[in-house]
A and B are shown apart, each in its own frame.
Chain A
Amino acid sequence: MDNRSNGLVRLRGITGLKSVDYYLVVPILALTIIGLYVLQKVLSSGYAAYPGNYYRQIVATAGGIFAAIIIAMLDHQFLKLVGRAIYAVSLMLLILVPIDGYSLASTWGADSWLNLPVIGNFQPSELAKIGLVLVASEIFESMAEKRVTLLKGFATMGVVYAFPLLLILSQPDFGTAMVIMFTFVCMLFAWGIKYRYFLLAISSVIVIFVPAVWTFYLEPYQKERILSLVFEGSSPKSEYNLVQSKSAIASGGLAGNTTGIYTSVPVKESDFIFAAISEHLGFIGTTTVIALAFFFICRCLYVASKVPSKASSYAMTGLAGYFAFHYIENMGMAVGLLPITGIPLPFISLGGTAMLINFMAFGVILNISMSRNG
């Protein structure tokens, strides 16, 4: 196959459908359906913007699926280009965020939103996550194949990561920054970092980074969230969300709360949607979600270990880490295992940007998985 001769973008033929990895598609579609079902329940129970917000979610989902199909059908060779494009656009948008008039800082705690014409409210940091994964995987591959020296490679990596990270941290969106760091670490692993370096990095992070972040970076409410997790009852104010969330989860019981009366949980439609899943579908529903997510991530990792292209393997690992982090952190905070951050549940939470970006990431994953087969 000579891709280059057929123009910049060549979509794979219909035959590509045969090579679609249904082990990836089915769980994601199942999660999406569960998500839409639960969201309908949540939004219809008293949200003022219903059903407008629900329709927007459906449109975003449709748009996301469409984007995923397009990306999946792109020639594998173009992924790098797509990655760079996404990275560049996200960086531009991130620069726009702090500029007044675009942001929605007063509505949410973090100033991470853009109010774009046509598209509406949009979170560029979401986009940055995927861009970074794709760009970083390319750099890792270059280093792995010794096309660049480690020094030059990591220096480039530093520059590539520094701009979006600094912009995101200044928003401040600590959760997204953590996702980015985590995906980076995943790729670092996949790249094959020597464990002693890794341990060194971890310990330096613990010794230098954690205290520094705690002292200089974290806002009091963020500290409270972390402290209330460690010391139960230390801060009733920040524990409120958690107590409500646990109450809602518990009220679901095994198969959902059938009484038709639900607990009030803050941002139940998004950050705390896991609580709503439990309320409406019970322990069965939540374990199903966990199982689907787990299966999906495992499948990603399996594919990552099989794909011939190093960059694809790294990117796949990074994206698997990205989703794993989202799922674990979101569910973990809902049950009180992890500190509360504003990280939504992929394919389920209300949020057009997240839905669109997640499907784009899924498109990349599909694309990579299909490159394995043909």
Chain B
Amino acid sequence: MDRETKSARSARYAIAAVFAVVLIGFAYLTYKLYDITVNNYEVYAHAAANQQWSLLTYSADRGMIYDANGMPLASNTYDYTVVCSPSLVTSSMLTRDQIIEACVSYLGVTYEKMDGILPLDPEDKEDPRNDVAGCDVTKNVPAEVKEAFEAYCKENKIKGFGYVAVPQRYYNYGSLASQVIGYAHNDGESLKGVYGLEAYYNGLLSGTDGYRYSETDEITGGVLPYSEATAQAASDGYNIVTNIDLNIQRIAEEAAREAYQKYNPIDGVCAIVMDPYTGAVLAMVSLPDYDLNNPYAMPYGMGELEWQMMSDEDRVNYIMSNCWRNRCISDTYEPGSTFKSLTTCMAFEENLTTEDEVFSDAPIEISGYAISCWLQKSHSYNHGDETLTKAFENSCNPIFAQLARRIGISKYYSYVRMLGFYDITGIDLPAEGKGIFHTDPQELDMCCLSFGESATVTPIQLIMSYCAIINGGDLMVPHIAHYITDSEGNVVDEIEPEVVRTVFSDQTCARVRTLMEGVVSDGTGSAGRVAGYSVAGKTSTSTIETGELRGCHVLSFSCYAPSNDPKIAVLVVINKPADHSVGSSSAASTAAKIVEGTLTYMGVERVFTEDEYDELLVQYYVQKVDGMTASEAASRVSTNGLSTIYGTIDMDSETIVARTYPSYTETLYKTGVVILYPEGVTEDQMLTTRVPNMSGMSAIECIEACLDLNLNCKISGEVTGVCTGQSVAAGTEVLAGEIIHVTLEFNAPVNQTTETEATTYQTGGVAGQEDGVLVETTLPPETEDGDEEESN
């Protein structure tokens, strides 16, 4: 009995023990539940909400980048990432190998890569390739390739591939202004600017992605119908309207590229075109450049073989340091003689000298170091005594060292500081550098700096200091962007011209500008002359004194035009041509091309001086080219600057030329045009055009008006006068290439009613020549058509 109770009691204890275990278990369970539902509600409920609500992202369109005329420089497009679920890639028609071959031929992936992705047997659980739920096959597939591949898959019943659209950037003009625009790269989430404007204005361009939370179906994950959604539309990025003008940029790039090809400089070519009054950057060229749509491609100017030899890393390094780099703002160079204008400004501002003061060009010794003129170095004699004006034209170093000494170290460097050489200019581009200037300048440092040596500047720093001289003393902040607009084109922000500080007075600047005009008209900058436009500027040749590039030159020309009413400031830097004998005229002539092209584009009137007309109006015989092929004929004719036009549409470069119009007995100006005709073309099959009305035009305008209509022009009378008569009446149909005689009179009032009797010159067919007509005049017949002018 006792034993019985004992065992019963022990059984009860045992049951109590089980009970205790159960109690603890349930208690802890309850606690844990409480913990989840109450304490950590947010954490888990958020996780739950993420699944119950699907988040759709509407990606904001990246803003566009426009040039000053509203032409798009950067716009948006899409490409595709091809993805696949390896175990699902099957086809009822093709074998695995055939599927792989299709991927190789359409998508350009390697056989090995596809072999590594696709399992041999989708049912084989041992094959690790079957464990991959999904993977990228290849990225950056253009839409047309994706569509072709998709169609092929459909046709051959290949399953398991998917396509993810990825926003990409498209640069409408390829390499144009590449370093300024920069490029944006899709990092997997969105487009992010990497260089240039794309990087600098990335925040503005990106916009804000929109979203839509919507309730999803638990099983399929699809959006439930009728569910209420919280949505926020994407706000697209702002557009950037730049000051860069596509046409000016093209002109500058063309000129700079010509110099780059000709001189093959080690550190490239920079060219900047500025509006000197506002600080607007009209064009900015840094060569070598790169294709924005394919930034990793072989850079222009590099040998295929050399490129093949490089490792991927070397390639990227090369492109990064040579092509992606905007040398205009990131590279520094010794400004050389261009700095003399600034030294002169300081001296004038401080009233320490005048244009007519006479200085000696003899070498001067400073701190045991002789400073002498370039002439002294090369020819062992110097310019002797000369006025400051002459010294400026001759670019004599000792004279500027003397000026700097008069100014004094502290004042000199305070001007340097005021000109912004110790700071970045604040241009709206990333990675701007600044020159290296003396921190504790000594007299020798200053004297060397007076002619631009011993310190370095960035091209943008230098041109901004020149802009100050041009605009009357204001140091401006350079701006690439002009307007910020929203996606509907409303102006959100306008970037106003910004004056950093006024450094020089108007008079000082005007005096120095006069000196700079002399440099081009009479001095070292003669290569910068442009017929019809007066250019003023300063050349520079600085020499690398140390290192492995010792003896290399940096050639630059800083100028503005027209000199009486400056429209543009231009800086060209040709940095270390391989050939050490290349002089600063290389930069000056490049700048001249930019000035000529830009001012013509801007519609600035050309004013030829009599001397310039003398040069322009030299007459050349048309070369005899009968029996040559068209291409030979064209090159022969163009030796004197004449241009040629094929007279029939079926001519090509191999066609034998039988005659020209005008014929070789005629003389033309170098702007003339010659039409080439093959055998068997009769007069009534020859090209015709209509004569323009040139009344009141200047000589150059007459020449250009004729040239536009494929006519030649001969000027008589006062070359600087205006047109008062033309040998063929306006609106008359004549043969292309016809010589129109024009009479100019000085300051004569234009007489609209008296026009040349044209009968003697009216040759050639009039009607029924559709076959041969290449150019037709757009000029409407003038109202005075019937009137005829006296021939002179």
A294-B22, A328-B29 are known contacts. Are A251 and B17 too (CB-CB below 8 A)?
Answer: no
User: Which of B11, B32, B47 has the largest count of A CB atoms less than 10 A from its CB?
Assistant: B11
**Chain A window 292-303, contacts with chain B (Cβ cutoff 8 Å), 1 for yes, 0 for no:** 011001100100
Inter-chain contacts of A304 with B (CB < 8 A): 15
| Cα distance, A115 to B220, chains bound together (Å) | 29
| Cα distance, A310 to B12, chains bound together (Å) | 12
Q: In the complex, what residue of chain B is closest to A306 when comparing beta carbons?
A: B12
Q: Check if B25 sits within 8 Å of A250, measured CB to CB.
A: no
How many residues belonging to A are interface residues under a CB distance threshold of 8 Å?
51
A45-B218, A324-B22, A332-B29 are known contacts. Are A192 and B37 too (CB-CB below 8 A)?
Answer: no
Inter-chain contacts of B51 with A (CB < 8 A): 244, 247, 263-264
B46 to chain A, nearest CB (A): 8
A154 within 8 A of B: no
Q: Check if B218 sits within 8 Å of A301, measured CB to CB.
A: no
Q: In the complex, what residue of chain A is closest to B17 when comparing beta carbons?
A: A189
Q: Check if B52 sits within 8 Å of A261, measured CB to CB.
A: yes
Inter-chain contacts of A317 with B (CB < 8 A): 14-15, 18
A220 within 8 A of B: no
Q: Which of A23-31, A170-178, A281-289 contacts B (4 or more CB under 8 A)?
A: A281-289
Inter-chain contacts of B32 with A (CB < 8 A): 332, 335-337
Instruction: Name the interface residues of B472-491: CB closer than 8 Å to any CB of A.
Output: none
Dominant SS among interface residues on chain B: helix
Q: Check if A298 sits within 8 Å of B22, measured CB to CB.
A: yes
Q: Give the tally of cross-chain contacts (CB within 8 A).
A: 141
A262 within 8 A of B: yes
A274 to chain B, nearest CB (A): 9
Q: Which of A211-219, A252-260, A348-356 contacts B (4 or more CB under 8 A)?
A: A252-260
| Cα distance, A328 to B40, chains bound together (Å) | 21
B165 within 8 A of A: no
Q: Check if B52 sits within 8 Å of A192, measured CB to CB.
A: no
A82 within 8 A of B: no
Q: Check if B33 sits within 8 Å of A251, measured CB to CB.
A: no
Q: Check if B26 sits within 8 Å of A293, measured CB to CB.
A: yes
Q: Check if B18 sits within 8 Å of A251, measured CB to CB.
A: no
**Chain B window 195-235, contacts with chain A (Cβ cutoff 8 Å), 1 for yes, 0 for no:** 00000000000000000000111111100100100000000
B43 within 8 A of A: yes
A246 within 8 A of B: yes
Q: Check if B38 sits within 8 Å of A283, measured CB to CB.
A: yes
B45 within 8 A of A: yes
Inter-chain contacts of B41 with A (CB < 8 A): 250, 253
**Chain A window 261-292, contacts with chain B (Cβ cutoff 8 Å), 1 for yes, 0 for no:** 11110000000000000100011001100100
| Cα distance, A320 to B17, chains bound together (Å) | 13
Q: Check if B33 sits within 8 Å of A283, measured CB to CB.
A: yes
| Cα distance, A278 to B53, chains bound together (Å) | 19
| Cα distance, A331 to B38, chains bound together (Å) | 17
Choose one: B26, B33, B38, B45; the contact of A294 (CB below 8 Å): B26
A117 within 8 A of B: no
Inter-chain contacts of B495 with A (CB < 8 A): none
How many residues belonging to B are interface residues under a CB distance threshold of 8 Å?
45
Choose one: A46, A186, A243, A324; the contact of B219 (CB below 8 Å): A46
Inter-chain contacts of B17 with A (CB < 8 A): 189
**Chain A window 59-87, contacts with chain B (Cβ cutoff 8 Å), 1 for yes, 0 for no:** 00000000000000000000000000000
| Cα distance, A261 to B756, chains bound together (Å) | 92
A110 within 8 A of B: no
Inter-chain contacts of B25 with A (CB < 8 A): 324, 328, 332
| Cα distance, A317 to B38, chains bound together (Å) | 34
| Cα distance, A298 to B21, chains bound together (Å) | 11
A247-B44, A261-B224, A328-B25 are known contacts. Are A190 and B18 too (CB-CB below 8 A)?
Answer: yes
Inter-chain contacts of B26 with A (CB < 8 A): 290, 293-294, 327-328
User: Which of A259, A264, A297, A337 has the largest count of B CB atoms less than 10 A from its CB?
Assistant: A264
Q: Check if A249 sits within 8 Å of B11, measured CB to CB.
A: no
Q: In the complex, what residue of chain A is closest to B10 when comparing beta carbons?
A: A192
Q: Check if A263 sits within 8 Å of B218, measured CB to CB.
A: yes
Inter-chain contacts of A324 with B (CB < 8 A): 18, 21-22, 25
Choose one: B16, B19, B33, B48; the contact of A263 (CB below 8 Å): B48
B769 within 8 A of A: no
Q: In the complex, what residue of chain B is closest to A274 when comparing beta carbons?
A: B33
| Cα distance, A374 to B23, chains bound together (Å) | 30
A144 within 8 A of B: yes
Q: In the complex, what residue of chain A is closest to B32 when comparing beta carbons?
A: A335
Inter-chain contacts of A321 with B (CB < 8 A): 18
| Cα distance, A186 to B40, chains bound together (Å) | 35
Q: Check if A247 sits within 8 Å of B14, measured CB to CB.
A: no
B49 within 8 A of A: yes
B30 within 8 A of A: yes
Inter-chain contacts of B7 with A (CB < 8 A): 144, 192
A45-B218, A259-B52, A313-B11 are known contacts. Are A331 and B29 too (CB-CB below 8 A)?
Answer: yes
A341 within 8 A of B: no
Inter-chain contacts of B21 with A (CB < 8 A): 324
| Cα distance, A45 to B47, chains bound together (Å) | 20
Inter-chain contacts of B23 with A (CB < 8 A): 294
Inter-chain contacts of A243 with B (CB < 8 A): 47
| Cα distance, A298 to B23, chains bound together (Å) | 9
Q: Check if B19 sits within 8 Å of A46, measured CB to CB.
A: no
| Cα distance, A85 to B218, chains bound together (Å) | 44
B36 within 8 A of A: yes
A293 to chain B, nearest CB (A): 7
Q: Check if A287 sits within 8 Å of B33, measured CB to CB.
A: yes
| Cα distance, A190 to B34, chains bound together (Å) | 33
B601 within 8 A of A: no
Inter-chain contacts of B746 with A (CB < 8 A): none
Instruction: Name the interface residues of A13-71: CB closer than 8 Å to any CB of B.
Output: 45-47
A248 within 8 A of B: yes
| Cα distance, A247 to B30, chains bound together (Å) | 17
Q: Check if B43 sits within 8 Å of A190, measured CB to CB.
A: no
Q: Check if A261 sits within 8 Å of B18, measured CB to CB.
A: no
**Chain B window 115-137, contacts with chain A (Cβ cutoff 8 Å), 1 for yes, 0 for no:** 00000000000000000000000
Inter-chain contacts of A336 with B (CB < 8 A): 32
Q: Check if A250 sits within 8 Å of B48, measured CB to CB.
A: yes
Q: Check if B33 sits within 8 Å of A335, measured CB to CB.
A: yes
B28 within 8 A of A: yes
Q: Check if B36 sits within 8 Å of A298, measured CB to CB.
A: no
Inter-chain contacts of A189 with B (CB < 8 A): 14-15, 17-18
| Cα distance, A144 to B47, chains bound together (Å) | 54
A34 to chain B, nearest CB (A): 15
A222 within 8 A of B: no
Q: Check if A290 sits within 8 Å of B15, measured CB to CB.
A: no
Instruction: Name the interface residues of A121-152: CB closer than 8 Å to any CB of B.
Output: 144
Q: In the complex, what residue of chain B is closest to A323 when comparing beta carbons?
A: B22
A305 within 8 A of B: yes
Q: In the complex, what residue of chain A is closest to B12 when comparing beta carbons?
A: A305
Q: Check if B11 sits within 8 Å of A305, measured CB to CB.
A: yes
Q: Check if A251 sits within 8 Å of B44, measured CB to CB.
A: yes
User: Which of B17, B26, B215 has the largest count of A CB atoms less than 10 A from its CB?
Assistant: B26
Choose one: B33, B43, B216, B221; the contact of A290 (CB below 8 Å): B33
Interchain Cβ contacts under 8 Å between A and B, 23 examples = A47-B219, A191-B11, A192-B10, A247-B47, A249-B36, A249-B44, A250-B40, A261-B52, A263-B48, A264-B221, A278-B33, A278-B37, A290-B29, A290-B33, A297-B22, A301-B18, A305-B12, A321-B18, A328-B22, A328-B26, A331-B29, A335-B33, A335-B36
Besides A327-B26, A335-B33, A337-B29, 4 other A-B contacts (C-beta < 8 A)? A247-B48, A251-B45, A313-B11, A332-B29
Per CB-CB distance, the 10 closest pairs between chain A and chain B, nearest first, are A250-B44, A247-B48, A251-B48, A189-B14, A261-B52, A46-B219, A328-B25, A247-B47, A335-B32, A283-B37
- A residues near B (Cβ < 8 Å) are 45-47, 144, 186, 189-192, 243-244, 246-254, 259, 261-264, 278, 282-283, 286-287, 290, 293-294, 297-298, 301, 304-305, 310, 313, 317, 320-321, 324, 327-328, 331-332, 335-337
- B residues near A (Cβ < 8 Å) are 7, 10-12, 14-19, 21-23, 25-26, 28-30, 32-38, 40-41, 43-45, 47-49, 51-53, 215-221, 224, 227
